[in-house]
A and B are shown apart, each in its own frame.
Chain A
Amino acid sequence: MYPIVLLSFFGIVTLFLGFSKSKNILLPATLLFLIIALAGNFLEWNKGPLLYFYDMLRVDNVTLAFNGIILLSAFMIFAISGGFQDNPDSEPAEYFGLMLFSLVGALMMVGFQHLIMLFIGVEILSVAMYVLTGSNKRNLRSNEAALKYFLMGAFATGFMLFGITLLYGATGSFKLEQIQGFASNMQVGSESYILYAGLLLLLIGMLFKVSAAPFHFWTPDVYEGAPTIFTTFMSTVVKTAGFAALFRLLSGSFTGVYGFWWIVIAAIAVLTLLVGNIGATSQNSFKRMLAYSGISHAGYLLIALTALSKPSQNAIIFYSLAYSLSTICAFGVLMLVSKEKTIGGQPNEYYDAFNGLAKQNPLLAFVLTVSMLSLAGIPLTAGFWGKFFIFTSAAERGIIWITVIAVLMSTVGIYYYFRVIISSYLKEGDLVKIRVAPFYKVILVLATFLTILFGLAPGIFEGLI
């Protein structure tokens, strides 16, 4: 609960800091705010389930773990943004303020116990992201991405709201516990149909936000058009929060009707895996490939949701962490490399921008390689164990066929993840030595180190939650 209150306050403070002449204070200040929020988050560790705001928010160790992942990724993203110093048109105070506010929304989604809280959290997060996507005002691509994201997001909100309404009509409550109580001993009748319809519509709304197929079509366009730093934010923070919310929703109030929804989620998971992996192979732009890779990772996470067995919870937490760390590395290197060359006024985000990266910039090439290996799920990286835990959770429930499809799809993944490694090590290129700010380097190395650490010793996480 502390980080929600703290970040709301700090967001306002950040906006006021924007009035000061010196823009140099903004970045250290926001990083400090995030560290305070992280510390505040873990103050409640092991204090047991606590309920706040008239039982609308639940704080337990699962909530705190998800909050920790979200705040840690946000910290890294803020740090590699470099305070937006390189772009004279940027408005750093507004960007940081909006990102802090959107974090509040993400944290509300993670701990919600009441559907009002879920709705408000999703909206706080999304509305801030619409603005940030379009923050490059003169750039038509950024404009287009913002409009697409906004229209699709608002459309999804409509589905979500109608779903919540139908759930309320069937059960008479917005509280997860009471919905659970109703759904567990419900008779077949008109009310059960309304409940099923409401659940499906609510799921459609949420799956839109986490970009699962067939509701994924906005993702590649938006990820490609948005400024890269906000794409990173979208693909880590928004996705983690979305899956935390889906997990809490399904495990908190619909275990009683598992037989109804598991096949729906399973079908969507398979479709998402197919679309994400096969879509990614045909891309020439690295950024767009990462968008499709984000879709395919949503598919893996959906498998854990389908199973909803005992290991699912840890699997989702571990996978989100592994995915966030590698994605931040990948986008971090992309931001540095793409600035070197431009194509038609746009930064070069194609694979050939990485040609010959390893010769002059061995560190960047290494960071990129580790992150690609982790995303592909090669052993000795965190991504491997993430996939392993997810497959274990599916096996626990006895759903083997979905695991087989997922393993097949992850071999497809190796093809497109290795393309960039091949570009950077084996192909000839004229990339000069890229100057990297020391702090930027520290963050990239830290994320790589954590990826390898969790890959070597995944047990660090085991007993914690």
Chain B
Amino acid sequence: MIPNPNIPEVSIPSVIQNIPLQHYLILSTLLFVIGIIGVLTRRNAIIIFMSVELMLNAANLLLIAFSSYRSDPSGQVFVFFIMAVAAAEVAVGLAIIVMIYRNTRNTDIGFLNKLKW
């Protein structure tokens, strides 16, 4: 690839390091907490599921930040694993939600009250 002379050469880690690490920590913690609140307060299975994904992505973001600050690639490798596993979970989760929709015509978790003591 021919480098473009108009763009100064900067590596991605150095771009990430322009922002202090604490900011990444605060941002991902906020995203994580928003995810938790979403899971606990929403009633629709798909939105709960989206909130869970938000929690996973908060972890991903923080992993990338830590990894580039430490110049250690293993954190970024972990992100790939998380993405692959999250994709598998999405496949299974949406299949379960579709199965429930077929039986109840609804994805509201308030409808799920067959099992109670």
**A residues in contact (CB < 8 Å) with B:** 115-116, 119-120, 123, 127, 130-131, 134, 137-138, 140-141, 143-148, 150-151, 154-155, 157-159, 161-162, 164-166, 168-169, 172-174, 220-221, 224-225, 279, 282-283, 288
Out of A130, A137, A224, A279, which one reaches B115, CB within 8 Å?
A224
Query: B96–A221 contact, CB under 8 A?
Result: no
Q: Is the interface of A mostly helix, strand, loop or mixed?
A: helix
**B residues in contact (CB < 8 Å) with A:** 25, 28, 32, 35-36, 39, 45, 48-49, 52, 55-56, 58-59, 62-63, 66-67, 70, 72, 74-75, 77-78, 81-82, 85, 88-89, 92-93, 95-97, 99-100, 103-104, 109, 112, 114-117
Shortest CB–CB separation between residue A161 and chain B, in angstroms?
4
Known: A116-B81, A151-B49, A161-B82. A123 touches B62 (CB 8 A): no
In order of increasing CB-CB distance, the 8 nearest A-B pairs are A158-B55, A161-B59, A221-B115, A144-B112, A169-B66, A154-B52, A123-B85, A165-B59
Query: A143–B32 contact, CB under 8 A?
Result: no
Query: B96–A123 contact, CB under 8 A?
Result: no
Q: How far is A225 from B58 in the complex, measured between Cα atoms in Å?
A: 32
Known: A141-B114, A147-B100. A130 touches B92 (CB 8 A): yes
Query: A220–B117 contact, CB under 8 A?
Result: yes
Residue pairs across A and B with Cβ atoms less than 8 A apart, 27 shown, are: A116-B77, A116-B78, A120-B81, A131-B92, A134-B99, A140-B114, A143-B99, A143-B103, A143-B104, A144-B112, A146-B96, A147-B109, A147-B112, A150-B92, A150-B96, A151-B39, A151-B49, A155-B52, A158-B52, A161-B82, A162-B58, A162-B59, A165-B28, A220-B117, A221-B115, A221-B116, A283-B117
Known: A138-B103, A155-B52, A283-B117. A119 touches B81 (CB 8 A): yes
Known: A140-B103, A168-B66, A173-B74. A147 touches B52 (CB 8 A): no
Residue from B32, B56, B100, B114 whose CB has the most chain A CB atoms within 10 Å: B114
Known: A119-B81, A123-B85. A225 touches B114 (CB 8 A): yes
* Nearest A-chain residue to B35, judged by Cβ: A158
Q: Is the interface of B mostly helix, strand, loop or mixed?
A: helix
Query: A174–B78 contact, CB under 8 A?
Result: yes
Q: How far is A169 from B69 in the complex, measured between Cα atoms in Å?
A: 9
Out of B25, B62, B70, B93, which one reaches A154, CB within 8 Å?
B93
Inter-chain contacts of A166 with B (CB < 8 A): 62
Q: How far is A166 from B29 in the complex, measured between Cα atoms in Å?
A: 10
Inter-chain contacts of A221 with B (CB < 8 A): 115-116
Shortest CB–CB separation between residue A377 and chain B, in angstroms?
24
Q: How far is A42 from B66 in the complex, measured between Cα atoms in Å?
A: 40
Out of A119, A123, A168, which one reaches B75, CB within 8 Å?
A168
Residue from A165, A279, A282 whose CB has the most chain B CB atoms within 10 Å: A165
Q: How far is A356 from B58 in the complex, measured between Cα atoms in Å?
A: 56
Out of A119, A151, A225, A282, which one reaches B85, CB within 8 Å?
A119
Out of A119, A127, A168, A225, which one reaches B92, CB within 8 Å?
A127
Out of A138, A144, A168, A225, which one reaches B63, CB within 8 Å?
A168
Q: How far is A162 from B35 in the complex, measured between Cα atoms in Å?
A: 12
* Nearest B-chain residue to A194, judged by Cβ: B25
Query: A151–B45 contact, CB under 8 A?
Result: yes
Q: How far is A169 from B81 in the complex, measured between Cα atoms in Å?
A: 17
Inter-chain contacts of B35 with A (CB < 8 A): 158
Known: A116-B81, A119-B85, A168-B66. A148 touches B49 (CB 8 A): no
Inter-chain contacts of B45 with A (CB < 8 A): 147, 151
Q: How far is A119 from B86 in the complex, measured between Cα atoms in Å?
A: 12
Shortest CB–CB separation between residue A18 and chain B, in angstroms?
19
Known: A140-B114, A148-B112, A225-B114. A172 touches B63 (CB 8 A): no
